[in-house]
Amino acid sequence: MCDFSGTANKAQLLSVINTLYNLPPALPHPLPLPSEPDTPHDPVSLIINQINTTVLTGNQQKTIVRAIEDLLEEEKYAGEVPALLELLSKQVDLTVRTALMIERINKDIVNPLNQE
């Protein structure tokens, strides 16, 4: 920061003022303004929202189980997997196939070296 209050710096002060007055005008904003970016969501909350859908088809359940299984690869979310599997397993419309997938993943979590 510069202090131009002294009389010795009068020429510099005038030079700064002149420079500021000669700055080009700001560019106008685009019309219309660009839309606001989507709020990022973590995958756990997205999966919870999918599970809480009133009715899930067998394919939707399979997709959710695979998304939950993918979370095991990310250390940040791996701890959430058992709770997500339990939440999904409580669905009234759970298919046998989905139940078996959940059971397999739970076994793999408990005993990861005993994978088939």
CA-based max dimension of the chain: 88
Percent of the chain residues topping a pLDDT of 70: 89
Q: Kindly report, residue by residue over 13-57, the tens digit of the pLDDT.
A: 888 889 999 999 988 888 888 888 888 888 999 999 999 987 899
Tokens of 101: 């997938």
d(CA 45, CA 94): 20
Judge whether 5 lies within some domain. no
Mean pLDDT (whole number) for 9-16: 81
Better-scored residue on pLDDT, 2 or 76 = 76
Domain that includes residue 95, residue range: 43-114
d(CA 68, CA 63): 9
The total number of structural domains in the chain stands at 1
Judge whether 29 lies within some domain. no
User: Can you give the pLDDT at residue 60?
Assistant: 94
